[in-house]
Amino acid sequence: MDIVKGIAASTGLYIGKAMLWDGGELSEVPRYTFRRLADCEKEWARFQNVLTNAADIRKKKIACNVAKLNKTESDLLKTQIMMLEDIELHDQVHARIFENSENAEWAVWEISHTMTQLLMTSPDANLRERASDIAGICQEIIYNLMGRERHTLSKLSQNSIIVARDILPSDAISMDKRHVRGIVLDMGSVTCHTAILARSFEIPAVVGLGGLSRKIENGATLILNAALGEVIVNPDAETLKKYRKMLREHEQARKTAEAVQTDAPVTRDGVPITLKANIGLPEETAKVYKYGAQGIGLFRSEFLFLTPGAPSEEEAQFQAYSKVIKASGGKPVTIRTSDMGGDKILPNFYNFEEKNPLLGWRAVRFSLSQPEMFKMQLRAILRAGVYGSARIMFPLISSLDELLQAKQLLDEAKTECEQAKQKFAADMKVGTMIEVPAAALIAEALAAHVDFFSIGTNDLAQYTLAVDRGNEKVNALGNPRHPAVLRLIKMAADAARKAGIGVSVCGQVAADTSMTALLLGLGIEELSMNAASIPAVAAALRTLNMAACRKLAEKALGCATAGEVEDLFKR
């Protein structure tokens, strides 16, 4: 048995067989030259015909499936059409055919290879991810030029967990959604197209696993615990039994989701606990409430800046925030201001390479350095707030000075809305994330200036334990059960209670039912997670007694290692 940690890209739990997929890559591309101008003209016409047909297929798919396609699929198809009709690509192929007398297949392959290699070496993560888009379209063009049918994921005979180095966006959008029950990739991040599509299709996915696809045999049994970014290869009997039980509990909990929507989640002794959902795109809003979410605890607004076809101008942001708030029907929506930087690079702003990007120019640090851009986002949130109950939350606060600067810019944004005679939510609540040790250590000082705390346990564990959670060689060390992390959570929760403000956890552990009792015992009164996990957490809550939870937390805080804490769960 091997337990491998990666990046949670789309949450969920599934046990099944691995299906290794080579990505349909070409083993050989034909290369030849022409001697006559007439042959070059015929080759150019052949290339144009292939591109026109590929674009027309996508246009017809959009036109004929308007009601069936979600916005993520539709946007990706439109992006692919733009790539197929891109004048620069046409001009480059034209030059190679007429100036070098090359055949179209070879011309497209060389252009694709040059462009993807250039993008893959870019310090801009967004550009690196676009390399997959270009590779996918060019690969499809070459197959069509060769008149060959490419092996795809569109028709599978059985339920499978797809294991691959990468899945190109063109393959992800056409994959067999009935039988693809999980995705495991060596490459990728939470912002890549395949991850975005997996979330929209509600398919569990873990990415950034290094060379795992080369180590797994076809048909191997896998446990895909995407909520924790974990893949268990060839689990032993005890582990398999444990996760099968967990899967049954999840499925049973989902069946009772309708009851969860009407009954507020409470512990066995009647203590109410708020359960909210995390989202990254406005289109995810509608489905979170079918799982019983009591609001949006974390709207990751940076995806509005990173997703292709989604401009970050104020009106576009205003429309996106308004859509989420309106769809929430009065339930609270917490919008985290842009968490750019680190592994989420905004084009045109990063013309340098940071040696330690996760410790560098990111989140609120980036926002404070771009005050006009920051105020544009704040104005959009304030204006959208008139449509319901919205809250603003600042990420990666590490000092009181940062928090006060952010609040000052918020006040300026309000003044600018007034001057523009725009309606806005003047009394919108403001919160801060607790995701670096410094914030937890000065929690009492921060609490005096905000209405709520939200503890991001993913980053809190990463920064407390000095572990890059995106690095497969060390991410297993980033255990949120480490006593140091638990003590910081307790410190923040105590400060919130003393100040009379709310406190929640919005990291991955919020969805882990084995951690629910411990979090409650530490003083957490609200959990925000992927929506699909809400029914299972609600069911777990109903079995808990707060006195027992506090006793468990007291014992855990006295432990010296994460292993000792985990042993407490087995007793």
pTM of the prediction?
0.68
CA distance 452 to 465: 25
CA distance 364 to 369: 8
Can you give the pLDDT at residue 166?
85
Can you give the pLDDT at residue 322?
96
Q: Could you tell me the domains of the chain? A: 2-24+152-238 (3.50.30.10), 37-146 (1.10.274.10), 252-569 (3.20.20.60)
What are the pLDDT digits (tens) for 451-510?
Answer: 999 999 988 998 999 987 656 567 667 789 999 999 999 999 999 999 999 999 998 789
Quickly tell me which residue has 């920051």 as its tokens. Answer: 374
Q: With contact defined as beta carbons under 8 Å apart, do 199 and 10 qualify?
A: yes
What are the pLDDT digits (tens) for 114-157?
Answer: 888 887 776 655 666 677 778 888 888 998 898 887 777 878 88
Averaged over 155-182, what is the pLDDT? 86
Percent of the chain whose predicted confidence (pLDDT) is above 90: 51
Residue 106 has pLDDT above 90, yes or no: yes
Residue 73's pLDDT band, with cuts at 50, 70 and 90, is confident
Averaged over 531-549, what is the pLDDT? 90
Q: With contact defined as beta carbons under 8 Å apart, do 138 and 111 qualify?
A: yes
Of 40, 193, 482, 549, catalytic: 193
Q: With contact defined as beta carbons under 8 Å apart, do 561 and 465 qualify?
A: no
Averaged over 408-430, what is the pLDDT? 97
Averaged over 543-556, what is the pLDDT? 96
Averaged over 62-88, what is the pLDDT? 79
Q: Residue 468: exposed, middle, or buried by beta-carbon count in 10 A (0-12, 13-18, 19+)?
A: middle
Averaged over 165-189, what is the pLDDT? 84
User: Cα torsion at 285, 523, 255, 531 (round to 10°)?
Assistant: 20
Can you give the pLDDT at residue 309?
42
Can you give the pLDDT at residue 372?
94
Q: With contact defined as beta carbons under 8 Å apart, do 228 and 13 qualify?
A: no
Of 192, 417, 506, 549, catalytic: 506
Least confident piece of the model among 162-171, 193-202, 261-270, 470-479:
470-479
Q: Between 283 and 369, where is the model more confident?
A: 369
Can you give the pLDDT at residue 349?
54
Residue 342 has pLDDT above 70, yes or no: no
Averaged over 30-53, what is the pLDDT? 93
Helical H runs in 180-236? 193-201
Q: Between 351 and 379, where is the model more confident?
A: 379
Can you give the pLDDT at residue 526?
97
Can you give the pLDDT at residue 352?
53
Residue 367's pLDDT band, with cuts at 50, 70 and 90, is very high
What are the pLDDT digits (tens) for 261-278?
Answer: 556 789 999 999 999 999
Residue 181's pLDDT band, with cuts at 50, 70 and 90, is very high
The residues with which 102 forms a beta bridge, in sequence order, are 33
Residue 76 has pLDDT above 80, yes or no: no
193 is catalytic: yes
Can you give the pLDDT at residue 354?
65
Averaged over 169-197, what is the pLDDT? 81
User: What's the chain's average pLDDT?
Assistant: 87
- Tokens representing 475 are 């991410």
Other Cβ atoms less than 10 A from the Cβ of 286: the count is 12
Amino acid (1-letter code) at residue 423: K
Q: Between 331 and 77, where is the model more confident?
A: 331
Other Cβ atoms less than 10 A from the Cβ of 177: the count is 14
Q: With contact defined as beta carbons under 8 Å apart, do 249 and 268 qualify?
A: no
Q: What angle do CA 175, 134, 178 make, to 5 degrees?
A: 5
What are the pLDDT digits (tens) for 296-339?
Answer: 999 988 767 754 444 468 998 999 999 999 999 999 999 999 88
In the DSSP assignment, the letter for residue 436 is S
179 is catalytic: no
Can you give the pLDDT at residue 344?
55
Can you give the pLDDT at residue 12?
83
Can you give the pLDDT at residue 414?
97
Can you give the pLDDT at residue 140?
85
Can you give the pLDDT at residue 388?
96
Segment of 174-178, 380-384, 458-462, 503-507 carrying the highest mean pLDDT: 380-384
Can you give the pLDDT at residue 259?
54
Can you give the pLDDT at residue 311?
45
